[in-house]
Amino acid sequence: MPKVLVVYATRTGETQSIADLVAEGIRFSGAEAVVTNINDIKTEADLQGYDGLVFGSATYHGDMMQKMKTMLFLAEKAGLEGKVGGAFGAFGWSGEAPDRIFDTMKNIFKMDMVSAPLRLKSSMLGGGTKMAQDYGREIAAKLGE
Ligand SMILES: Cc1cc2nc3c(=O)[nH]c(=O)nc-3n(C[C@H](O)[C@H](O)[C@H](O)COP(=O)(O)O)c2cc1C
């Protein structure tokens, strides 16, 4: 069974809720999903052994959270080329973080990215729950390509 790691960086829990829903969508599609708080990613080995990786951060002050920046430097050394990838995050009005994470995974790590990052104001608003689950389904579908 393909295995996907979902890592989230959050301050008030919204991006964690999205991570859980993305993981649900992955599991609905028959793949395994492991959801991890970014605080538990200590070395590049923690990012290895997965077929897909999905990274999420909330946007603060027009940027991803500092912990996600630090983790992306670890990820650079983890040998993620060709792995399926996606990026997501909660935001209030500008939502830069998911785009920046997505572009790094695509351009630096050379991952096999889904069509676009997932930006949600809230998992509870505007169909957010379904959009997050569908993002998980899209990740799982790409694993099968
Ligand atoms: C001090 C502060 C700064 C913020 N800066 C931004 C920002 O620059 N752009 C944006 O889209 N949202 C911004 N937000 C809104 C958060 O991204 C939003 O509340 C999000 O849901 C938080 O996600 P989290 O619960 O995963 O931490 C800011 C919120 C706070 C409290």
Per-residue pLDDT band at 124 (split at 50, 70, 90): confident
Query: Which residue puts its alpha carbon closest to atom 12 of ligand 1?
Result: 92
Among 78, 91, 84, 76, which residue's Cα sits nearest to residue 126? Answer: 91
Distance 47 CA to ligand 1 centre (A): 26
Among 68, 75, 56, 49, which residue's Cα sits nearest to residue 14? Answer: 56
pTM, two decimal places: 0.98
* ipTM for the predicted complex: 0.99
pLDDT tens string 41-94: 999 999 999 999 999 999 999 999 999 999 999 999 999 999 999 999 999 999
Distance 60 CA to ligand 1 centre (A): 5
Strand partners, 3: 32
- Kindly list the structural domains of the chain, giving each domain's residue range(s) and its CATH number in brackets, ordered by start: 3-143 (3.40.50.360)
